[in-house]
Structure 1
């Protein structure tokens, strides 16, 4: 079994983990639709098997129209990677409804819309891989980030339920749960943690490095290689799992 010629869709595919996954899939021969809200960012990295599609995952109608356009251009989506997300912490007593909804709309609602609208092609072809990018915060919870943690737990619940729905078919559903990954999100969080905790940016970065069990940041390519494995030969019995990439036991 090969993914060559298969159509993959990666949300948040213009940068960071999403871009690494998209490039790995394209390198293995897939036709990859990359989505995001910033068309200029997508256009900059497009080419070599990557096809840009401007789409806001928080908007149900945009996801429906975007997936339909991608299917029309490249055929049924058989590899779906709900990756788009917001990684931002806030103490619960400082969390208002607007912040809560922003996190849920992107991280959880966006995953739901994307998977639901991609399922048609998988059901039609009786082969599919859904690999949601969750977080170790979806496994154990993250201090000071209740909304984020709840959204990532929700992603895993969605994946596990779908894996039960499609047992014994050619479709599998898994989640990947990375620790701190070396992307631009780290840079943004360094500034936020520094201001919130009253520490230097160097100390804030060290806090995130220390949180990974092997005491280094994870590379986006490490996550991408796990996705390739879940799409490749011998992966069909890996289903309903939350795969931790954190350098050790969480």
Structure 2
């Protein structure tokens, strides 16, 4: 009886972390990012924040790594890991953009959530008659999952606004694993022309975010694990009785 119980227990323990279909996540990338303009204008780096973390959904506390810098031209990167799960990000505007990714492992438990997000501001100063255009390509790819209880989503927002304190995305696109399993590839272009007799200051804001919730282990894995534990308990009871 013990010889049958131990293989069943080991099979249940090993099957969950090795089942690739139990992983879920998403990758969001922005490339071909560029600024084109005409007339008299200047570009001034401002605030930014790149954040990657894996948290306990109940306490909202776990691993977090982030980077913030007043010089938006310097590349930044983050990486947070926990029990096979990973959230990471990278951003380099001079190289044309960057990307965020989250991959949650089934063995990390359904109470874990991963997130990677970016918020970067650049100030554009336009003299009368000057024009600017911000353009790029956005791509979202999901790491598919067949496990129940898993979710994955991505969101991007790009704005070019005269009100820096309340900049709303002029271009935005969001999706979920359930809505678009194949993800998407999208191009955007935002432009502004100063047709006044005064200098204008615009805010170019880029906001990106991907997140995922750890999937619930496959029912078959739990069944094998439960069978192994039950058989071991029965063997132990019979051994004590003897």
- Using the size of structure 2 for normalisation, the TM-score is 0.30
- Using the size of structure 1 for normalisation, the TM-score is 0.29
RCO higher in structure (CA 8 A, sep ≥6): 2
The structure with the greater share of residues assigned to helix is 1
